[in-house]
Structure 1
Amino acid sequence: MSEPDIAVRVRGVAKSFGKTRILNDITIDFARGEVHALVGENGAGKSSVGKIIGGYYSADEGTVEIFGEPVTRFTPHDALGRGIAMIHQELQLVPELTVCQNVFLGKESNRASFLARGDRARFEELERTCGFSLNPDAKVATLRIAERQKVEIMRAIAREAQIIIMDEPTSSLTEDEADRLHALIGRLKEQGVTVIYVSHFLEHILANCDRVTVMRDGRVIRTDPTAGETKQSLVDSMLGEAAEISWPELPPRPLPSVAPVAEMRDVSTDTGLSGISLEVRPGEIVGLIGLVGAGRTELGRAMFGADPITSGHYAIEGVRQERLSTHRAVENGVALVPEDRRKQGLVLTQTTRPNISLATLSEISRMGFTQPRKERRRAQAIIDHFGIVPNRVDGDVAFYSGGNQQKVLLAKWAVARPKLLILDEPSRGVDIGARRRIHEFVVEMAASGIGVVLISSELEEVIALSHRGYLMSEGRIFGEVDTRGLTVEAALNRIFAQQGGEHMLAPQQQEAAQ
């Protein structure tokens, strides 16, 4: 590859946080006009490489060249000036500003940093390019995670960057939305833009990337064209062993005669739920099957007392819940792992130990004071059980990889031993190794007699890990299904038929779904 073809050259880069080494001797070339994937388990260092190129981290050792020029003391502002934009896995938006204001933040037409009339026209043109159907006047604080992710993507495109780093860009998108993003990436590639694509969706990488760099334990294992790769070959390189891609075996499904741990009858909320009726039995994994916007997250929040129920009947272990709050829900044995772990699940100013203890302080306290030795022993045991890295009770959670942050959040509820566990996108932004451990955790919880409600945008995941499921669309449950033998295609056909049939699968796909 000749010198002019290199957009980014990384040579011998190393990075540490305190005593923890996160990158070792990273050497990669990213070519002009290519889509180059970085894959690896969470904690492998792929996001950290992106942040060094994007100016968010500075390298302790080694060099970085952008279009042949060395960069030093790099900041995100410097990176933007050199034509580099980054789409973060943990979204970097201003909640109280509108979609349009966030998209053009720092790039407003008006010198006083106010949007001018021309910016609305710029937004409309950008919307035609991206096809995301976002309301430019909506406050970002009111948007779902998937919609916020679209705003991040639009903001990067609006900067007309020549190098775009995409960190898990499809983690909250539906397959249809992901397809539109990949078509957009293809157009950017034709214009000579370099896309550095960090993702745990191996199918997306194989279908849309030119080359792939596999990382493990902060090191580069290899870089090769995706044309010669398979999902299995990538997994083997990521884990350093031949590893079968499989789902854990579910525990036996409880009999219908078993009394439900949670029951809803004709429940409605101000958040868009209407006429919801469902049951969850002890030891049962119940999946909520639907697309983004179907109301799955809202249903989980209502069951946890985060959103008030305006009408209908909700009972936990047969006791009707009136004016349920999150505090009372926890007291009644209900737990929620939210879809946004950083903003809603973890306390990033605290270390691993207090994050794990947060929901069960009474168990490690005496006369209002925590017992440090007991707390540390319990925290270390659950850290070992989940394989959290780094293996330290006082690790700085804010700097953990996404997968290890998610494990800490799951560990908090594992020690709480709830009666009902609601998991909203438990494997979002998580690599294949951490995902496997999370799947095992879901099965462990059910096997111990806990009722589990599973929400996932990956229909294959929610179908494979559920005993049965409820089909959702537009805030309603419109069907109950036995997930044994259910295919993703069949589920999508039922969902699209409920929405009016405009997106029904092709005839050959329908045959495969039968």
Structure 2
Amino acid sequence: MAAAQPAPAAGAQSPSVHLSGIEKSFGAAKILHGVSLSFQPGEVHALIGENGAGKSSVGKIIGGYYAADKGVVEIGGMRLDQATPRRAMQFGVAMIHQELQLVPQLTVAQNVFLGLEDNVAGFLTGSDNRRFAALEARCGFGLDPRRKLGDLAIADRQKAEIMRAIARDARIIIMDEPTSSLTADETERLHKVIAWLRDEGRTIIYVTHFLDHVIEVADRVTIMRDGRVVRTGTIAGETKASLVEGMLGESAEVAYPDRPPAPSPDLAPRLELSGVSSGAGLKEVSLSIRPGEIVGLIGLVGAGRTEVARAIFGADGLSAGAIRLDGVALSSLSPQAAVKAGIALVPEDRRKQGLVMTQRTRPNMSLPHLERISRFGFLDMAEEKRRTRAMIDHFGIVPGAVDGEVAYYSGGNQQKVLLSKWAYGAPKVMILDEPSRGVDIGARRRIHDFIVELARAGVAVLLISSELEEVINLSHRGYLMSEGRVIGEVDCASITPDQVLYRLFHVGDTPAAPSHEPQGPSS
């Protein structure tokens, strides 16, 4: 157990948040073991660690979403005696959640100011848009306050969640994976906002898996492992390698697995799109993927990558063009028909689109495959448990219970359950939309290995990732997308992220490519 941090010396600045001996369990699973930490005013304090290390749980205890089983939470020198978000907000605490806590049916401005509406004698004054303009001038996210939130891409919803926390004028802001869906430019903008908040004397508790971001913006960092504090110190002198070593308990090289050999160009495509257009904004998209090939979709947020995935899976109808699987046109495609044909989709929003959070691990994995594990209309529960156990062991899911409560798993372990759900059925085509979003470096490594395993087994893999290094280092080929169109094709073994960005922004003189060496991921 990590030693408790000493109380501030006389005359020293008092911490804005102090945790002492915090313990927390869910059922038999203990997730925090005697955690003691202090967070200071006017600092950005990063919490890092593998999935399941306890980072988000610490944030949720400070934010009042979880009640500690043991220990003391003090905010501004006062004990937080009731663990509710409302009570924590009264203490000046706001939280930006990794899994967004917004109302899709309301507008952006209504979400940002929900519960903070201006009123006169109980009647709303309708000043949300004016107040939003002032907040937008500071943040610069470019959101339309009148747009319905449910119509926005997940990256724009994440911006609204960030603005919602800032609008509460909190002195302590907990940011749980705030950049997981943002582009590099949007992340830089958020970091400027964080610097502004810190300079105003606020405390920023920054939970992230992006180690570059930690080194760039944090003043101090706490490394957690298995629900315990490993160490806390200033960021000065830390490197990605030293942070990874602290997280894993061993020296670790941050690298991508070797790509499997590229399939022969003469091999017939497993999946082929010809002139595909859709009401969701696709315009004459043509691409192909061979068996055993990893193909990346590369583009900025809003380029149409997710829309391609949804069209292939039958979630969005086509207005023109054709989709062929092993040379046979797929007509009247629906998600049910896609699954039956051997097409799997891991969506970017695992909680709302990928998993059933009210169900346990076993039914989550088996749900799309009930016909395969049923006999004469009756579910073969022994086979269901056997397959679930095999997936848990294969991915190293923690907790390892066949009937674990997925809702309480860390983000990385939820993602492993989602990947297992589709690996369970041995698909012909696997579409992965942001598969490593919001997961730690250990889980990310396992996911990357899984992608390579799929290709080695002859699966056609379509990879979508906002991290250019990830999609370039894992893919054989890549299609560049912009505004719903494919604007080019690249050999991922002979191109750099900088060159891709030049192409995406339609800049003519791209930098020369160095001899290709696999690059480390950005987190």
Distance 2:114 2:150 in 1: 16
> Aligned pair in 2 of structure 1 residues 406, 112: CA closer, same or farther (>3 Å)?
farther
SS of 1:233's equivalent in the other structure is helix
Provide structure 2 residue ranges, at least 5 long, that are not aligned to the other structure.
1-7, 516-523
Distance 2:261 2:283 in 1: 31
1:223 aligns with 2:232: yes
Q: Which amino acid aligns with 1:424?
A: D
> Aligned pair in 2 of structure 1 residues 114, 362: CA closer, same or farther (>3 Å)?
farther
Q: Which amino acid aligns with 1:353?
A: R
Distance 1:24 1:378 in 2: 33
SS of 1:90's equivalent in the other structure is coil
Q: Is the 8 A contact 1:294 1:474 kept in 2?
A: yes
- 1:175 positional shift: 0.2
Q: Deviations over 1:149-175 (max 9, x none)?
A: 000000001011100000000000000
| Residue 295 of structure 1: aligned partner | 304
Q: Which amino acid aligns with 2:434?
A: E
Matches within 5 A, 1:409-420: 409-420=418-429
Q: TM-score, normalised by structure 1?
A: 0.96
Q: Is the 8 A contact 2:110 2:128 kept in 1?
A: no
| Residue 189 of structure 2: aligned partner | 180
> Aligned pair in 2 of structure 1 residues 268, 115: CA closer, same or farther (>3 Å)?
farther
Q: Which amino acid aligns with 1:287?
A: G
| Residue 352 of structure 1: aligned partner | 361
Higher helix share: 1
Deviates more, 1:356-365 or 1:114-123: 114-123
Distance 2:126 2:34 in 1: 48
1:61 aligns with 2:75: no
> Aligned pair in 2 of structure 1 residues 54, 112: CA closer, same or farther (>3 Å)?
farther
Q: 1:9 aligns with which of 18, 29, 32?
A: 18
- 1:113 positional shift: 7.1
Distance 1:210 1:117 in 2: 39
- 1:510 positional shift: 3.9
| Residue 139 of structure 1: aligned partner | 148
Distance 2:181 2:194 in 1: 17
Distance 2:460 2:68 in 1: 46
Deviates more, 1:136-145 or 1:335-344: 136-145
SS of 2:286's equivalent in the other structure is strand
| Residue 148 of structure 1: aligned partner | 157
Distance 2:123 2:434 in 1: 36
Distance 1:12 1:452 in 2: 46
| Residue 267 of structure 1: aligned partner | 276
SS of 1:227's equivalent in the other structure is coil
Matches within 5 A, 1:233-252: 233-252=242-261
Q: Which amino acid aligns with 1:258?
A: L
Q: 2:85 aligns with which of 76, 79, 103?
A: 76
Q: Is the 8 A contact 2:80 2:88 kept in 1?
A: no
| Residue 220 of structure 2: aligned partner | 211
> Aligned pair in 2 of structure 1 residues 438, 113: CA closer, same or farther (>3 Å)?
farther
- 1:115 positional shift: 4.6
- 1:512 positional shift: 7.2
SS of 1:314's equivalent in the other structure is strand
Distance 1:125 1:161 in 2: 17
Distance 1:422 1:300 in 2: 7
Q: Is the 8 A contact 2:481 2:504 kept in 1?
A: yes
Q: Which amino acid aligns with 1:50?
A: G
| Residue 376 of structure 1: aligned partner | 385
Deviates more, 1:239-248 or 1:162-171: 239-248
- 1:290 positional shift: 0.7
Q: Deviations over 1:371-399 (max 9, x none)?
A: 12221112111101100000110000011
Q: 2:400 aligns with which of 367, 391, 399?
A: 391
1:254 aligns with 2:270: no
Deviates more, 1:116-125 or 1:165-174: 116-125
- 1:511 positional shift: 6.0
Q: Deviations over 1:47-91 (max 9, x none)?
A: 000000000001001101101111112210011111110000000
Distance 2:198 2:513 in 1: 34
Q: Is the 8 A contact 2:495 2:513 kept in 1?
A: no
Q: Is the 8 A contact 2:314 2:334 kept in 1?
A: yes
Q: Which amino acid aligns with 2:262?
A: R
1:190 aligns with 2:216: no
Q: Which amino acid aligns with 1:55?
A: G
> Aligned pair in 2 of structure 1 residues 113, 173: CA closer, same or farther (>3 Å)?
farther
1:426 aligns with 2:435: yes
Q: Which amino acid aligns with 2:297?
A: L
| Residue 486 of structure 2: aligned partner | 477
Distance 1:402 1:459 in 2: 22
Q: Deviations over 1:101-123 (max 9, x none)?
A: 00000111116776523332111
1:158 aligns with 2:174: no
SS of 1:155's equivalent in the other structure is helix
Count of residue pairs the alignment pairs up: 506
Distance 2:203 2:13 in 1: 13
Provide structure 1 residue ranges, at least 5 long, that are not aligned to the other structure.
none
| Residue 285 of structure 1: aligned partner | 294
Q: 1:45 aligns with which of 46, 54, 61?
A: 54
SS of 1:244's equivalent in the other structure is coil
Distance 2:122 2:135 in 1: 20
Distance 1:445 1:491 in 2: 25
- 1:254 positional shift: 0.5
| Residue 110 of structure 1: aligned partner | 119
- 1:244 positional shift: 1.2
Q: Is the 8 A contact 1:108 1:114 kept in 2?
A: no
Distance 2:222 2:286 in 1: 47
Matches within 5 A, 1:317-336: 317-336=326-345
Q: Deviations over 1:279-330 (max 9, x none)?
A: 0100000000111111100011101111111101211111112221111111
Distance 1:263 1:309 in 2: 14
Q: 2:371 aligns with which of 355, 362, 365?
A: 362
Percent of aligned pairs with the same amino acid: 61
Q: Is the 8 A contact 2:494 2:513 kept in 1?
A: no
Q: 1:304 aligns with which of 285, 294, 313?
A: 313
SS of 1:423's equivalent in the other structure is strand
Distance 1:363 1:31 in 2: 55
SS of 2:150's equivalent in the other structure is helix
Distance 1:14 1:116 in 2: 45
Distance 2:447 2:124 in 1: 44
Q: TM-score, normalised by structure 2?
A: 0.95
Q: Which amino acid aligns with 1:253?
A: A
> Aligned pair in 2 of structure 1 residues 52, 195: CA closer, same or farther (>3 Å)?
same
Distance 1:484 1:116 in 2: 57
Distance 1:48 1:133 in 2: 31
Q: Is the 8 A contact 2:41 2:202 kept in 1?
A: yes
Q: Which amino acid aligns with 2:21?
A: G
Q: Which amino acid aligns with 2:458?
A: G
